[in-house]
Structure 1
Amino acid sequence: MYDLGDIIEMKKPHACKANRWQIIRMGADIKIKCTNCGHIVMLTRRDFEKKMKKILEKAEA
């Protein structure tokens, strides 16, 4: 299961050709930030779960 601060991979890469995103906010909506260009995207939890491929790195405890 994903958590705040995790680095995740989405099914489609970002326009900057990177596919590493960090979860920066969780709630009813989930906010993710591209680790390459810093672009921030907010998705509903349902859309996020559909579009997420896998967790690359767990956040430090």
Structure 2
Amino acid sequence: MASIVKRNKSFGVVYTSYEGGKQKQHWEPYHSYEAALHRKEQVELIQKSGRRGYKAVLII
């Protein structure tokens, strides 16, 4: 699951992935809420599909 966090004038998407059997937290900053929401939906779709240890790629 991913979440959106507001920091000053930007938004961050925070999510957890598994790399090499270890849990790792990722933080991706965005300048608009719409871009952050789009990325959050992408991350949740990838996580729902059950793929672990993926390298996240932003597709606009």
TM category, shorter:
0.3 to 0.5
Specify which structure has the higher proportion of helix.
2
Whichever of the two has the greater Rg, that structure is 2
Give the structure-1-normalised TM-score.
0.34
Identify the structure with the greater strand proportion: 1
Q: Report 1 or 2 for greater relative contact order, CA contacts < 8 Å, sequence distance ≥ 6.
A: 1
